[in-house]
Amino acid sequence: MATGIDALDRKILRVLQHDATLGLDEIAAQVGSSKTPVWNRIRKLREAGVIERQVAILDPQKLDLASCFFVLIRTARHDAEWLAQFTAALKARPEIMEAHRLAGEIDYLLKVRVENAGAYDRFYRSLIEDVSIFSVTALLSMEEIVAKTALPIAEDG
Amino acid sequence: MATGIDALDRKILRVLQHDATLGLDEIAAQVGSSKTPVWNRIRKLREAGVIERQVAILDPQKLDLASCFFVLIRTARHDAEWLAQFTAALKARPEIMEAHRLAGEIDYLLKVRVENAGAYDRFYRSLIEDVSIFSVTALLSMEEIVAKTALPIAEDG
DNA sequence: AATGAAACACTTCCTCC
DNA sequence: GGAGGAAGTGTTTCATT
């Protein structure tokens, strides 16, 4: 999987996933190299899809999206048709920031970001209307202790 | 909370949280305004902390971090001393990408990104060594159906 | 093959209208 | 809010090791 990503690449990635506004000069200085090689590597990492995209991270509190729910779902059906429908329903809803298919007795886990409890209830009702679900448990986050986007990239490899 | 964020601000934020590499001209065109006002608004949104930071999103699969676990934790103690110790332990581990304090019978939820099941086991052992925990349930993600960083910003407000 | 330096084009970012 | 300009950046090319 780690197709030809060396220690310098990893250093560059570690910098970029914490702050993508840094200039090439500064990145080069931080990783102990110079502009051109760093730029060529960033280019290749982008082309290879290692760097997927570059985005702004916003503060949910300041945008009236203070409530974060984790939703544990057990499904009623496991056939292909239902799966396609369910997957489409998840992707269509912007409140769903993450959706995972799990191993074990719980089938799916969602991370849902909404305005308040009322908005979550509306989301919940709308979801169970669209697709048949066996059981749903919602966990309400009271406090975000850690919220990173940076992957734990190892020093070497 | 939505301290003076108007419809145009929201449009700009919606663009930036999907692609922060866009030039000012292009953003201005997409939101139906022009360079200067868009620039001034971005500046203010940054100063106000609505835009927290700008980062590169990487592909975990390509960096040997294919395994994602959600960890549900019940705590043994609830005193302030233990809480401080636990919080510090969470923040110190780079594998923990998210940590939430919950309402309800489960006290904490973690999102942990590791190389494989063995790496998770090492993480788990190390964590329970550091802090006393009543019970731990790990949910293994088999597939990431949705993985967004973009908040569901409403059209109006 | 990879690095460093130097040139060009483009953006950002500020000032004035 | 719009126009223009200085400064700084990213991107390319060339010479160097």
Domain boundaries, chain A: 7-47, 60-140
Q: How confident is residue B1, by pLDDT bands cut at 50, 70 and 90?
A: very low
Residue of B137, B62, B153 lying closest to A48 (CA atoms): B62
> Under an 8 A CB cutoff, do B146 and A16 touch?
no
Phi/psi for A124 (5° steps) reads -60, -50
CATH topology of domain A7-47: Arc Repressor Mutant, subunit A (1.10.10)
What pLDDT was estimated at residue B147? 97
The encoded tokens of residue A106 equal 């719980």
Report the percent of chain B where pLDDT is more than 90.
93
Q: How far: B26 CA to C15 C1' (Å)?
A: 23
**Chain-centre distance for alpha carbon A144:** 15
CATH topology of domain B60-140: Alpha-Beta Plaits (3.30.70)
> Under an 8 A CB cutoff, do A151 and B113 touch?
yes
The DSSP secondary-structure symbol of A122 reads: H
> Under an 8 A CB cutoff, do A109 and B16 touch?
no
Nearest nucleotide to the CA of B41, by C1', is: D1
Does the CB of A43 fall within 7 Å of any strand C atom? no
What pLDDT was estimated at residue A3? 63
What pLDDT was estimated at residue B155? 80
Evaluate if residue B157 carries a pLDDT over 90. Answer: no
What pLDDT was estimated at residue B48? 93
What pLDDT was estimated at residue B3? 65
What pLDDT was estimated at residue B101? 97
The encoded tokens of residue B26 equal 């292009």
What pLDDT was estimated at residue A78? 87
- Could you say which residues of chain A have pLDDT below 50? 1-2
Residue of B147, B157, B77, B92 lying closest to B123 (CA atoms): B92
Residue of A154, A109, A155 lying closest to B119 (CA atoms): A154
Residue of A152, A8, A83 lying closest to B95 (CA atoms): A152
Q: How far: A5 CA to C7 C1' (Å)?
A: 31
Tens digits of residue pLDDT in B98-117: 999 999 999 999 999 999 99
**Cβ proximity of B137 and B128 under 8 Å:** no
What pLDDT was estimated at residue B156? 67
Q: Quick one: average pLDDT of B76-103?
A: 96
Tens digits of residue pLDDT in B4-53: 899 999 999 999 999 999 999 999 999 999 999 999 999 999 999 999 99
User: Taking the C-alpha atoms of A133, A137, A142 and A147 in order, what is their torsion angle to the nearest 10 degrees?
Assistant: -60
Nearest nucleotide to the CA of B37, by C1', is: D1
Place of tokens 């799916």: A108
